[in-house]
Every structure is written in C-alpha cells, then in structure tokens.
C-alpha cells in the first residue's frame, strides 16, 4: 500500500519520518511543489486546484491513502481533495495541536506563518479549543522559507525573533506550521527552560496508520520512497538533508564543489 504525502516544500518531512519510524516497511510517495511554492500567500482557488491536481496524480501513481501534512492545504483544500478521490481513499489533514496544549498549559503561544496567524481559521481554532487558556498567535516571519532553503543562519534569526515576541510566562508553544518540527531543537534552545512544545506530526502519522489499517488490505510494503517534484520524478531537495527527518527519508546532501 502506498501512502502519498502532499506539501509544497519540506513540511511533509516530520510526518513522513514518523510514518517510516512507526511502520518501517511502508511505501511513501512524497509530492513537493517547487514550481508553486510557497502555497500560503497564493489565492485560495489556486491552492485548491493545485492540491486537488496533486492528489489526482497520487491516485494515478497508486496511492491508496493521502496525507496533507500542511496547514494551508488542510485548511483550504482538504474537503475538495476528499470529494475528488472519493470515500475509498482516506485523506488525512493536519490541525495545529491547540486543544492538547490548552488542556495542559494556562498560557500558550501558537507559532505559525504570518498568513496562518492572521487567518480566520486559526482564530476559530483558538475560540473552539482554547478553553480557559490564554492563547496568543506569534507570526514566525520567514521561518518556513528559511527551512525550505536549509538556511541555518536565517532559521536562527527567525526563531530568535519569534522567541522575543512570545509573551512572558508562556508555558506551551504550538508549532502551527508543519515545517517547524524540523528545527525543534533550535526552538527549544531559544526559549526559557521548561516550556513545552506541541506539534501534530506524530499524531497525524498515527491517524494515517489507523485509517490505512481500517481499509483491511495488505499493507506490507518494501520501504520505498518515491519523490515527485511538481509531478516530475526526482529527489528530495538537498536542503532536506539538513534535517534528521529528511535524512531518514533518504535525502542526500549536495555534492562538494571541486576546486
């Protein structure tokens, strides 16, 4: 059984790595979109068309389960993808872990892209799931783009900026962009000791496996990882090798340049 993961860039890596860890023999189809990335600033209908078309390709390539490990794709296109592929192909979206964070912490910050931080979607999640917790959105300007480039100095700068703007007394931080778990160690290093981090990659992977097993079809794979970049066969970008999750999924660093 092939599981397809769809994202514009490297945000799929944490969920993909968890799938590989939890079910080592799983066959993965990783669909990135370098031609259209990033999706966040694009018009809504453009994103819908792009994600649905990529899901269509996934099914043609043999995928029986589709994962959208991307907040933008999940918010805008999840139901459209489900309508396109039909009930026989489970489609799993991603939701920031605001509910468990608010249940465990009195003061929470949601780190996300500027677009997500300003969105009605995040405001609605906070209104629905914050409970008695004080929840604040913190826009992490440039962090996702820096991760996609594997630009470590820019990553450090973006994290420091977000940490400076996180309210004092914050007990928990929700990683509201699927890219951010790739740099979780750097995020923890920039924060006061004791702050808890909440992300959804492991939960999304576990839900994917539950939905996969519920199909009651043979699931044993050959541990292959295929990559389509804007529908073209290829490899994960060399920037993916900057991160443990990327290396787990077979990303290779750039070849050294000969003098």
Known catalytic residue at 177: yes
What residue has token string 């750097």?
Answer: 186
Known catalytic residue at 140: no
Intra-chain end-to-end CA distance of the chain, in Å: 45
β-strand 225-229 against 232-234: which pairing, if any?
antiparallel
CB 232 within 8 A of CB 49: no
Helices (H), 86-200: 98-104, 114-117, 120-129, 143-149, 152-164, 184-189
Closest by alpha carbon to 109, among 180, 173, 200, 171?
A: 173
CB 117 within 8 A of CB 139: yes
Per annotation, catalytic residue among 85, 163, 177, 228: 177
Per annotation, catalytic residue among 12, 26, 66, 70: 70
Active site residue ranges: 70, 177
């Amino acid at each position: 059984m092939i599981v397809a993961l769809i994202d514009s860039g490297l945000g799929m890596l944490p969920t993909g790595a968890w799938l590989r860890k939890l079910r080592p023999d799983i066959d993965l189809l990783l669909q990135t979109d370098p031609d259209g990335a990033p999706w966040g600033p694009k018009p809504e209908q453009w994103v819908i068309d792009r994600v649905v078309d990529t899901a269509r390709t996934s099914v043609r390539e043999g995928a029986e389960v589709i994962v959208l490990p991307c907040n933008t794709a999940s918010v805008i296109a999840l139901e459209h993808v489900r309508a396109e592929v039909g009930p026989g192909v489970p489609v799993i979206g991603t939701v920031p872990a605001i509910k468990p964070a608010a249940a465990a912490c009195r003061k929470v910050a949601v780190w996300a892209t500027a677009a997500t931080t300003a969105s009605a979607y995040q405001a609605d999640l906070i209104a629905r799931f914050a409970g008695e917790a004080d929840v604040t959105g913190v826009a992490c300007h440039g962090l996702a783009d820096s991760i996609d480039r594997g630009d470590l100095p820019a990553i450090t700068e973006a994290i420091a900026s977000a940490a400076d703007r996180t309210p004092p007394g914050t007990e928990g931080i929700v990683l509201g962009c699927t890219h951010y778990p790739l740099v979780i160690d750097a995020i923890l290093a920039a924060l006061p000791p004791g702050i808890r981090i909440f992300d959804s990659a492991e939960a999304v992977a576990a839900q994917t496996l539950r939905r996969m097993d519920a199909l009651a079809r043979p699931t044993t794979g050959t541990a292959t990882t295929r990559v389509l970049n804007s529908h073209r066969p290829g490899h994960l970008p060399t920037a993916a090798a900057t991160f443990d999750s990327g290396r787990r999924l077979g990303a290779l660093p750039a070849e050294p340049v000969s003098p």
